[in-house]
Chains A and B, each alone.
Chain A
Amino acid sequence: MPNSSILLEARDLHKSYHKGRHEISVLRGVDLRVEEGELIAIVGASGSGKSTLLHLLGTLDVPDRGEVWFAGRRVDRLSASEKDRLRNCEIGFIFQFYHLLPELTLLENVLMPAMIQCSLWSWWLRRWEAHRRAWEWLDRLGLRKRARSRPQELSGGEMQRAAMARALMNRPRLLLADEPTGNLDLQSAQEVTALLRDLNRTHKLTIIMVTHNWELAQQADRVLRLAEGKLTPLTEPRNLSAALTCGGASP
């Protein structure tokens, strides 16, 4: 039975992919415990399986072996609809390429999780409440003026902030960020970094992020390194910089 303050726990995760006849085993026994309110950075060379790990933690994929526990519940064997609910309400995702829906405006993108949650009828009842929340987040992230624009009209930093607003829309307890600054210029990266740190502090939001960003990694409570299919803690800043340089993909 996991400790009550532990939000997320991964036990002995294994995952391998088949490429033709070859089997690539990406994760070979990953163990991870994340406490509520922690900000964790995961670093590692590209292709080491960081995205795979995040997908497993976020129930987008199932591990070959091992267990994922979320808030005291084993989630990797849940039914599809329960996983959908979990992703909708408890877990937020941010991706390197923002992944906004190009047909919708920023506001609609941010509203999307709330819309997915509701049927047509309940949406009709709750649309004002949802709009209020969406505007709050847009305000908070400085996107009020951009709410009616399409994603392709925005800069990278704005898009990433919109993606954050969308991920936070349904007030998740866990935010999984896959290289959130990987595609941003320095200033936008700093803004996003500051925001993540701020969210983590003020909202007690648990964040797990994959990053090559030195500054962002430094902000984390803990930095973990994924190499050869295993997670190892990495606390010394010196080691950190070494890890990042040997990762070779720092911006």
Chain B
Amino acid sequence: MYKWLLAWRYLRTRYLALASIISVMLGVATLIVVNSVMAGFANKLRDRLRGLLADIIIEHRSDSGFWNVEQKVKQVYEILGDRVEAVSPAIETFGILQFSYPHSREVITRPVLVIGVEPSSRARVGQFAQYLLNPEHQKNPEHCLEVRGETARRFRKVMESMRRRMDWRSMTYGKLDPEELVRRFDPGQNGPTSPFDGDSEAPPLPPPPTPPELPPEMREPSGIILGYSIATCRKPHAQVVDAEKDYFLLRPGDRVSLMLLTSFDLPGHDGTQGYPRPMEDTFVVTDLFKSEMSEYDARLVFIHLRDMQRLRGMVNRAKALYIKLRDYRQDAAEATRLLSESDAFPPYSYLVQTWEERQGSLLAAIAIERGILNVLLFLIIAVAGFGIFAIFYTIVVEKTRDIGILKSLGASHTGILGLFLSYGLFLGLVGAGLGTTLGIAITVYINEIEQALAYWTGQEVFNRSVYYFDKIPTDMQLSMVLLVNVGALFIAVLASVYPALKAALLHPARAVRWE
């Protein structure tokens, strides 16, 4: 009984012990905050990665993909039955995007990842619609690639001014002799330039599979959705609190041109092996895509699957099927197995993966990072443990006489041991309790704290050009908080074991004499 009373009194009267309480408190608070923020980031990242892919991805190994998209979709439904919620075909390829920002004539070229999608099914398969900037498109994603309304009006205006400029330019070119121009640009009239030219047996090149019918100026062009960072740039001194942090360099209605390669291994029209050639087309920006993942927002470009098929010569072909399951957790493994074992998707030409398998290395990297950080942070509490150890040791020395008195009054070894262990436990409890409160408070108000810090220091703590998240995401798990607390208590008690043993084994007579 007396040990609780004394431990409690020691806690209240020894201000030295405050130091160890504070170190436990800081350790616990840091662990909680860092874990919550890391979990928040990881969750957001997982959420985004999954949303940008789909639950399961079937990918054809060849560049030209598979034929008869509709039938393959039907087969997926047949194999998986009502486990499937939606299927969407897609073609992904690399391309080069060219455009000039308004008010500047400079042509900007960007390598991009072009994704041909069917907007309506794509929106059902993963997160797509919610990342579009136009709220209209968020509601009805099937129209997001159509050039309509205000976008079309703006485009016509842009084109009009451009045509005027072109006219002006053609007037300058017009001063040249047209015959001279033809001579300059038509290699046929200038003798052999191709190594195959002399060989009359050389097969004629296959024509482009489906060339654009009309020059872009005369045709209503297709829509394109650009990644947010392609179309914007950050204001140089943007504050965290500013609502508008970016300049829009391209807006819906602006014109961009996109260059792709035709599909690699489609046979030529005469049955010979074809080889890729560049295809270029003009697109109208219909919307911007902001997933808040800088990597994706700077590289992704969406066009309609139809346009992709036309440009790459992949009529009724697609390269991948994105599948959304009704219950991912329960069915993912089974569904992957069924798909890869079916005759419709033989493994030598199809790769069936869940999104986690596909992003495996990144997810593993996040997990490892979190693990290491936790170990490091736990060392903080271990340091606090050493603090408790040192403080306890001095307290035991200081209390030698009192320990002798207690023994002379009949206190047992275990009683004295218990006294100091419960003192350690109290210190740990108070430290962990305060730390938990502090940690939770910081986590809950982390965005306000960050803003205040940014305001005082004029420096962004959390660099928005790397992460586009407007708020610092947090995710506080009860189990994590409990684990951190248990760990802190364990370390506090562990650190008091040795001093407590030393106290318990003090020689009573010598302790009583001790002055």
Q: Are A103 and B408 closer than 8 Å at their CB atoms?
A: no
Q: Are A95 and B9 closer than 8 Å at their CB atoms?
A: no
Within 8 A of A (CB), among B1-46: 1-2, 4-6, 9-10, 13
Asked whether any CB of chain A lies closer than 8 Å to the CB of B251, the reply is no
Segment of A111-119, A192-200, A205-213 in the binding face: A111-119
Asked whether any CB of chain B lies closer than 8 Å to the CB of A58, the reply is yes
Q: A123 — which chain B residues lie within 8 A by C-beta?
A: 1
Within 8 A of A (CB), among B402-422: 402, 404-413, 415
Closest-by-CB residue of B relative to A80 is B413
Q: B2 — which chain A residues lie within 8 A by C-beta?
A: 112, 115-116
Q: Would you give the 0/1 interface string for B497-514, flagging 1 where the beta carbon is closer than 8 Å to chain A?
A: 000000000011100110
Q: Are B410 and A60 closer than 8 Å at their CB atoms?
A: no
Best-buried of A84, A113, A118 by chain B (most CB within 10 Å) = A84
* Bound Cα distance from A81 to B406, whole angstroms: 14
Residue from B6, B507, B508 in contact with A103 in the complex, judged by beta carbons closer than 8 Å: B6
Asked whether any CB of chain B lies closer than 8 Å to the CB of A51, the reply is yes
Asked whether any CB of chain A lies closer than 8 Å to the CB of B401, the reply is yes
Q: Are A119 and B1 closer than 8 Å at their CB atoms?
A: yes
Q: Would you give the 0/1 interface string for A88-127, flagging 1 where the beta carbon is closer than 8 Å to chain B?
A: 1100010101011111100010001101111110010000
Residues of B in contact, count (CB < 8 Å): 27
Q: Are B512 and A60 closer than 8 Å at their CB atoms?
A: yes
Asked whether any CB of chain B lies closer than 8 Å to the CB of A173, the reply is no
Q: Would you give the 0/1 interface string for A66-97, flagging 1 where the beta carbon is closer than 8 Å to chain B?
A: 00000000000000110011111100010101
Residue from A60, A61, A80, A166 in contact with B412 in the complex, judged by beta carbons closer than 8 Å: A80
Known: A51-B513, A116-B2. Contact between A85 and B410, CB under 8 A? yes
Q: Are A84 and B1 closer than 8 Å at their CB atoms?
A: no
Q: Are A116 and B9 closer than 8 Å at their CB atoms?
A: no
Asked whether any CB of chain B lies closer than 8 Å to the CB of A146, the reply is no
Within 8 A of B (CB), among A105-163: 108, 112-113, 115-120, 123
Q: B404 — which chain A residues lie within 8 A by C-beta?
A: 99
In the complex, how many angstroms separate the beta carbon of A218 from the nearest chain B beta carbon?
A: 27
Q: Are B408 and A116 closer than 8 Å at their CB atoms?
A: no
Q: A87 — which chain B residues lie within 8 A by C-beta?
A: 407-410
Q: Are B410 and A113 closer than 8 Å at their CB atoms?
A: yes
In the complex, how many angstroms separate the beta carbon of A48 from the nearest chain B beta carbon?
A: 15
Asked whether any CB of chain B lies closer than 8 Å to the CB of A28, the reply is no
In the complex, how many angstroms separate the beta carbon of B6 from the nearest chain A beta carbon?
A: 7
Closest-by-CB residue of A relative to B415 is A116
In the complex, how many angstroms separate the beta carbon of B46 from the nearest chain A beta carbon?
A: 49
Within 8 A of B (CB), among A49-67: 51-52, 55, 58, 60-61
Interface residues in chain B, defined as those with a beta carbon under 8 Å from any beta carbon in chain A:
1-2, 4-6, 9-10, 13, 401-402, 404-413, 415, 507-509, 512-513, 515
The 6 closest A-B pairs by CB, nearest first: A88-B410, A115-B2, A61-B509, A103-B9, A123-B1, A55-B509
A-B contact pairs, 23 of them (CB 8 A): A58-B408, A60-B407, A60-B508, A80-B413, A84-B411, A84-B412, A93-B408, A97-B515, A99-B408, A101-B6, A101-B402, A101-B405, A101-B406, A104-B5, A108-B5, A112-B409, A113-B410, A115-B5, A116-B2, A116-B409, A116-B415, A123-B1, A166-B409
